[in-house]
Homo-oligomer: A and B are copies of this chain.
Amino acid sequence: MSILQDLQNGKTVKDLSMDELEGLCYEIRREILSVVNTNGGHLSSNLGAVELTVAIHYVYDLPFDSLLFDVGHQCYAHKLLSGRAKDFDTLRTYGGISGFPRQEESEYDAYGAGHAGTAISAALGLIRAAKIRGEQKHVIAMVGDGSFMDGPSMEAVNDIGEEPIVVVLNDNNMAISPNVGGLSQYLNRVRSAQGYWNFKSRTANFLKKIPGIGNGLHDFFYKLKNSVKVLFVKGSLFEAIGFTYLGPIDGHDLPMLIRTLKRAKNLNRPVLVHAVTQKGHGYHPAEEEPGKYHGVTPYIVEHESREQDVNYKDVMVDAMDALMHRNPNTAIITAAMLDGTGVEKLTKQYPNRVFDVGIAEAHAVTLACGLASGGVKPYFAVYSTFLQRGYDELLHDVALQNLPVTFLVTNAGLTGQDGATHHGVFDLSFATHLPNVTILAPSCAEELYDMIAWSETATNPVFIRYPKQGCHAMHTLVPLEKSPWQVVSISHRAKAVVLAVGSMVPVAMMAADTLALDGIDIEVVNCRQVKPLPDRMLEKYANLPIITLEENAVIGGFGAYVAVRCGELGLPVRLLPIGVPDHFVLHGTTGQLLHEQKLDVEGVALRIREFIGK
């Protein structure tokens, strides 16, 4: 690792020769592969962005100039080049460096991310701030082709005006899922426009040879000039919306990248550099199966606090398969998360009823509403954290029109090493106040299966939220129709009752067992129906101290809803709401994070003990 070491000892990327830069790329790849193999992380996207990142560090003056990463899952080379090489082996580990850019981590991280579509907006803000402050700086946003078509990106592009930002379109022809949509097809055409420059010079020579053409023809060609460029360069879409378009260029050709970036830097207006890259470049297994190597599971075994008999994702697929098989008027939507949600396994059997809309959650929610309005029962399988992008549509389209859309909200709760931008700890807070909706949270495999089956006949919006992790196969079920809640740990001498949601049900049961050893009896209820609340059950428990327990923000979640409903019912309650406290949770294994947040068995038992002791 000699060049990376040199950089740690004061040398900068700008001091390196072209040969050394190529060598640096090799070292960076080796380092990324080594650490990701151990710690897990985003492999394909990071291997694809190495030369781009090195070229940007070479051409621009970071951190005075600002480099932003859209989504941010391609920032590893950047971290290695900005003083974090020595800590890089702590990547994504508890207390270590984040897998995404974070302002708090380094002044080189001009802007944080984790979700798609924000880099161009933020870049515009940075360049406008510089203008207001009278600073002369450059701002570069690296955006993947999957993110570029995301709604907020497009809104930002529309607002660029003449601001001199450079958007580097890192075009690997594949977002996380294979890319979909009009822009994708457009980019395919651009990439395949081979030999334009050759043709152009041949044409010029050819035209020169035509003798005696009049002024009319000259004018005609003059008028066509831009048009010719449009036809062959095919950057017309980008030029139509205000960019100077440079490309397409090979995103692994370092000298070419440096030349093009220098040109872009000098243009002093909005420039789009279209770099065609290969996901997983330089590592053959990832080049051939980039999807498989998008997010890599670490070789080291995660300290896992949840017991796993089966996987919620597989249960969802089984349940949806059965449902879509028996009911031809069903459809399922994913927003570029075919693999992550499990929806991929349904595509083959139901090709006309599975819709991957790209990174476009807002559109996905409304598309579902259109399907429902047209008499088809739609499902949207989506990570909790990404559904945040469709919040307005949940209110304005789903809830207001009371449409029977079902949301399969996966990756709810603390999700582990991806950190703050990927935890799903706000969905109960943004969903419980939506009128008309039913919210369910399974605590085991059978419950998820049954809830999905049940949702088929629901005539209103339904949210089913479940964690990323596996689940118990588990306990005998009372059907949801019979009782919205199920007592899972009965005590006739109970000193308190724990109203637990989803992933916290087994935790509550184990905490109850722990407390029972000390002679403290508590009752545990599996509150699988989060909304609407069963008033009768609240009335039953109001005379006991109530602990609500959820893997969700404590503000605005299940506990808050219980408190409000008890208030409306005139029930004075003594309540301890347990959930994720009012702060963001960083990265680490799920077990580490649950422990840190006092949401493991030990923490929950302790808090209940303190509460009852009062």
- Residue ranges of A at the interface with B (Cβ–Cβ < 8 Å): 66, 103, 110-115, 117-118, 121-133, 149-161, 180-186, 203, 206, 210, 213, 216-217, 220, 223-224, 226-228, 230-231, 236-237, 240-242, 328-329, 331, 352-353, 355, 357-358, 360, 362-363, 365-376, 378, 388-389, 391-393, 395-397, 399-401, 420-421, 426, 429-430, 432-433, 435-436, 553-557, 559-561, 563-564, 567-568, 570, 572-577, 582-584, 611, 614
| Residues of the B chain whose Cβ atoms lie less than 8 Å from the Cβ of A564 | 554-555, 559-560, 563, 577
In the bound assembly, the distance between CA atoms of A114 and B153 in angstroms comes to 23
For A186, the closest partner residue in chain B by CB is B240
Contact among B160, B180, B210, B363 with A121 in the assembled complex (CB-CB below 8 Å) = B363
Question: Could you list some 10 contacts between A and B, CB below 8 A?
Answer: A113-B396, A121-B367, A129-B376, A151-B362, A152-B360, A156-B363, A230-B236, A389-B392, A399-B584, A556-B556
For A396, the closest partner residue in chain B by CB is B115
| Residues of the B chain whose Cβ atoms lie less than 8 Å from the Cβ of A203 | 220
| Residues of the B chain whose Cβ atoms lie less than 8 Å from the Cβ of A186 | 240-241
In the bound assembly, the distance between CA atoms of A256 and B285 in angstroms comes to 58
| Residues of the B chain whose Cβ atoms lie less than 8 Å from the Cβ of A553 | 433
| Residues of the B chain whose Cβ atoms lie less than 8 Å from the Cβ of A614 | 570
In the bound assembly, the distance between CA atoms of A81 and B9 in angstroms comes to 76
Contact A133 B206 (CB under 8 A): no
| Residues of the B chain whose Cβ atoms lie less than 8 Å from the Cβ of A433 | 426, 429-430, 553, 555-557, 582
Contact A125 B570 (CB under 8 A): no
Given the known interface contacts A328-B132, A426-B433, A560-B556, the answer about A156 and B121 at a Cβ–Cβ threshold of 8 Å is no
Chain B proximity of A117: nearest CB distance (Å) = 8
For A103, the closest partner residue in chain B by CB is B401
Given the known interface contacts A369-B122, A554-B564, the answer about A158 and B152 at a Cβ–Cβ threshold of 8 Å is no
| Residues of the B chain whose Cβ atoms lie less than 8 Å from the Cβ of A242 | 182, 185
Contact among B154, B367, B563 with A154 in the assembled complex (CB-CB below 8 Å) = B154
Contact among B154, B392, B560 with A561 in the assembled complex (CB-CB below 8 Å) = B560
Given the known interface contacts A121-B363, A130-B374, A231-B230, the answer about A575 and B563 at a Cβ–Cβ threshold of 8 Å is yes
In the bound assembly, the distance between CA atoms of A353 and B430 in angstroms comes to 33
| Residues of the B chain whose Cβ atoms lie less than 8 Å from the Cβ of A184 | 158
Contact among B113, B154, B374 with A125 in the assembled complex (CB-CB below 8 Å) = B374
| Residues of the B chain whose Cβ atoms lie less than 8 Å from the Cβ of A118 | 366, 369, 393, 396-397
Contact B159 A367 (CB under 8 A): yes
Chain B proximity of A241: nearest CB distance (Å) = 4
Contact among B114, B117, B231, B561 with A227 in the assembled complex (CB-CB below 8 Å) = B231
Residue from A362, A393, A575 with most neighbouring chain B CB atoms (10 Å): A362
In the bound assembly, the distance between CA atoms of A161 and B426 in angstroms comes to 33
In the bound assembly, the distance between CA atoms of A303 and B227 in angstroms comes to 60
